[in-house]
Amino acid sequence: MGEIIAIANQKGGVGKTTTAVNLAASLALAEKNVLLIDFDPQSNATTSLGFGRKDIDFDIYHVLMGSKRLSEIIRETEMSHMHLAPSNIGLVGLEKEFYKKTSGRELLLRKSLQEVEEFYDYIIIDSPPALGPLTINVLSASHSVIIPIQCEFFALEGLAQLLNTIKLLRENINPNLEIKGFLPTMYSAQNNLSKQVLTDLSMHFGTKLFKNYGDKNQAYVIIPRSVKLAESPSFGKPILLYDIKSNGSVAYQNLAQSILRSR
């Protein structure tokens, strides 16, 4: 059975989508069969892979509403081992539906995944910047969660709330939900704040950083601030297909290696 990994942080713009897309692509490069699920109505992961809103007739919303099966909306991508379950703006409508439905609403995504789970080594789920019902569905469906932390001021603000939500989910819905790790993102060596965030992270969560097998000089995986990483979505490509040798691409491949070796 595949491993289901959520990428979550209710803070906006911390690198969730960039991580979801590029981790999924890096695992696919290592010939693992990967499904990337876009579970954010902003559909940034979907557009990052070159799909326009008009290209998507049916998306994850239709699956959760029961009008399509997950296998019917899955699309192939430019990477041979990587598939995408797209989202569209309609996913916001799901929140409304949730309020009508009394029981089992947290488990809609988990139930939908059962159909395809056995075909993938990894299922990576991108989530929206909120701790609402959509993110609760993602965390209820996942074996583990990666929390991207932007190396900027206020980086750790809101983290206690996220950790508390994870704790409540473990107690009530998903007892085995594991924190796979914290991933420092948008790190710039010239920036003292960046360094401070890293120090704070390694002090509080040192055992939950990703061991780096690709660079002897860096104990754990850090995603650098990289123009190439920011540009690649506008070409509809993961960084691997845009500039495989760039430092951002190498960092996401190191993250994938860390995950592959931790199994």
> Cβ-count burial of 107 within 10 angstroms (0-12 exposed, 13-18 middle, 19+ buried)?
middle
Q: Does 230 bind ligand ATP (CB under 6 A)?
A: yes
- Identity of residue 90: G
Q: 17 or 150, CB closer to Mg ion?
A: 17
Stretch that binds ligand ATP, among 61-69, 83-91, 116-124, 220-228 (CB under 6 A): 220-228
Q: 15 or 181, CB closer to Mg ion?
A: 15
- Identity of residue 107: L
Place of tokens 């919303």: 61
Which residue among 90, 129, 158, 236 contacts ligand ATP (CB under 6 A)?
Answer: 129
Stretch that binds ligand ATP, among 26-34, 134-142, 193-201, 218-226 (CB under 6 A): 218-226
CB of 42 vs ligand ATP, minimal distance in Å? 6
Q: 17 or 249, CB closer to Mg ion?
A: 17
CB of 239 vs Mg ion, minimal distance in Å? 16
Cα within 13 Å of Cα(34), Cβ side: 26
Cα within 13 Å of Cα(156), Cβ side: 14
State the Cα–Cα distance between residues 170 and 176, nearest whole angstrom: 7
Q: Residue 185's binding partner, choosing from ligand ATP, Mg ion, none, with beta-carbon cut-off 5 to 8 A by kind? A: ligand ATP
CA dihedral 23, 49, 137, 54 (to 10 degrees): 180
Residues forming contacts to Mg ion in the complex (CB under 5 A) are 16-17, 44
Mark 173-208 as b/e (b = at least 16 C-beta within 10 Å): ebeebeebbbbbbbbeeeeeebeebbeebbeebeeb
Which residue among 2, 15, 41, 238 contacts ligand ATP (CB under 6 A)?
Answer: 15
Q: 38 or 121, CB closer to ligand ATP?
A: 38
Residues 6+ away with beta carbon under 8 Å from 53: 43, 47, 88, 89
CB of 52 vs ligand ATP, minimal distance in Å? 17
Distances (CA, A) of 183 to 14, 111, 162, 187: 10, 28, 15, 10
Q: How many CB atoms lie within 10 A of CB 78?
A: 14
State the Cα–Cα distance between residues 236 and 75, nearest whole angstrom: 14
Q: Does 40 bind ligand ATP (CB under 6 A)?
A: yes
Which residue among 16, 62, 180, 237 contacts ligand ATP (CB under 6 A)?
Answer: 16
CB of 11 vs ligand ATP, minimal distance in Å? 7
Q: Does 238 bind ligand ATP (CB under 6 A)?
A: no
Q: Does 12 bind ligand ATP (CB under 6 A)?
A: yes
CB of 7 vs Mg ion, minimal distance in Å? 9
Interface residues with ligand ATP (CB under 6 A)?
Answer: 12-18, 40, 42, 44, 129, 185-186, 223, 225-226, 229-230, 233, 248
